[in-house]
């Protein structure tokens, strides 16, 4: 893992947005398209706002970016808890994305509605099928250009919590029930799917993340610390602020 420390959360979001724009531009220069996996969480959404505010925003051809999510809360489609809604408000509603390339994780159906699923397992199976449909030959999931992950104070990433069934899962997408952090029902990518990404960027700001960052840097295992399994094929970046880096031993 490469640790890149910024002075504070505001500069972290700005610097990560510049890095993200450049990485998407690079991918599009090579292949004409790019793929990005988004995260929820305060700093993950601040990053998207910083992308929107960037003078280089239009350097990316947003109509040629596949947008995925690392996890989603299994709540109704219009719930403000949905990572998707937050990402749309912060960025996606303001750039010319191609809706056919925006891959939302299925929501909990409203009563009698056909706008979602009744069980998170159904949403997980649907997402696995969408990933498979966009995977290269012989793979179950795409080789995402950038996969963004926030991190919880105890080291969870996506909706993979320490010592939970999701931390042992081998299928590409899982339903998570009884999540220690509300809401209890969620859908999450798993380690094998995360590790298919070319670049994985863990972003964390604040002193409450310092123990998790220090544990990862000290070599914690993936059952104790899910963030330890968040590795990319080409690069694994930890984009953090000084407070989050404060307990890393020299």
Ligand X SMILES: O=C(O)[C@H](O)[C@@H](O)[C@H](O)[C@H](O)COP(=O)(O)O
Q: Which is nearer to ligand X, 141 or 203 (CB)?
A: 203
Interacting residue with ligand X among 19, 42, 52, 79 (CB under 6 A) = 42
Whether the Cβ atoms of residue 76 and residue 108 lie closer than 8 Å to each other: yes
Helix (H) or strand (E) holding 148: strand 146-149
Query: Nearest distance from residue 43's CB to ligand X, in Å?
Result: 4
Q: Which is nearer to ligand X, 43 or 85 (CB)?
A: 43
Query: Nearest distance from residue 34's CB to ligand X, in Å?
Result: 22
Contact segment (CB under 6 A) with ligand X among 10-18, 40-48, 100-108, 134-142 equals 40-48
Interacting residue with ligand X among 106, 120, 142, 152 (CB under 6 A) = 152
**What is the rounded end-to-end Cα distance, in angstroms, of the chain?**
15
Whether the Cβ atoms of residue 151 and residue 227 lie closer than 8 Å to each other: yes
Interacting residue with ligand X among 39, 164, 185, 193 (CB under 6 A) = 39
Query: Nearest distance from residue 212's CB to ligand X, in Å?
Result: 10
Q: Which is nearer to ligand X, 44 or 142 (CB)?
A: 44
Interacting residue with ligand X among 9, 41, 190, 237 (CB under 6 A) = 41
| Cα 62 to Cα 114: distance, rounded to the nearest angstrom | 29
Query: Nearest distance from residue 6's CB to ligand X, in Å?
Result: 14
List the x/- string, 58-87, binding to ligand X by CB under 6 A.
-------------x----------------
Residue with tokens 């280089």: 56
Find, among 220, 106, 8, 52, the residue nearest to 20 by Cα: 52
155 belongs to the binding site for ligand X (CB under 6 A): no
**Biggest alpha carbon–alpha carbon distance for the chain:** 57
For residue 194, the tally of other CB atoms under 10 A from its CB is 25
Category of 112 on φ-ψ map: left (φ > 0), alpha (ψ -120 to 50) or beta: left
User: What are 77's two structure tokens?
Assistant: 């489609």
Interacting residue with ligand X among 30, 163, 181, 233 (CB under 6 A) = 181
Find, among 165, 169, 237, 159, the residue nearest to 204 by Cα: 237
Residues that bind ligand X (CB under 6 A): 39-44, 71, 150-152, 159, 181
């Amino acid at each position: 893992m490469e640790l890149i420390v910024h002075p504070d959360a505001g500069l972290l979001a700005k610097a990560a947005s510049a890095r993200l724009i450049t990485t998407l531009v690079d991918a599009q220069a090579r292949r004409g398209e790019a793929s990005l996996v988004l995260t929820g969480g305060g700093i993950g959404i601040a990053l998207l706002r910083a992308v929107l505010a960037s003078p280089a925003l239009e350097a990316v051809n947003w109509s040629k970016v596949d947008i995925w999510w690392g996890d989603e809360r299994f709540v109704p489609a219009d719930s403000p808890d949905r990572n998707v809604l937050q990402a749309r408000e912060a960025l996606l509603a303001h750039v010319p994305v191609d809706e056919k390339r925006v891959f939302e994780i299925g929501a909990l159906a409203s009563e009698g509605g056909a706008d979602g699923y009744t069980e998170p397992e159904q949403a997980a199976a649907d997402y696995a099928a969408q990933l498979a449909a966009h995977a290269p030959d012989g793979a179950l999931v795409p080789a995402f250009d950038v996969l963004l992950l926030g991190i919880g104070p105890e080291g969870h990433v996506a909706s993979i919590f320490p010592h939970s069934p999701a931390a042992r899962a081998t299928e590409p997408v899982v339903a998570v029930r009884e999540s220690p952090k509300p809401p209890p029902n969620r859908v999450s990518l798993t380690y094998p799917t995360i590790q298919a990404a070319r670049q994985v960027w863990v972003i964390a700001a604040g002193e409450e993340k310092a123990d998790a960052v220090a544990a990862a840097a000290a070599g914690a295992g993936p059952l104790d610390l899910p963030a330890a399994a968040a590795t990319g094929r080409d690069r694994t970046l930890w984009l953090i602020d000084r407070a989050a880096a404060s307990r890393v031993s020299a």
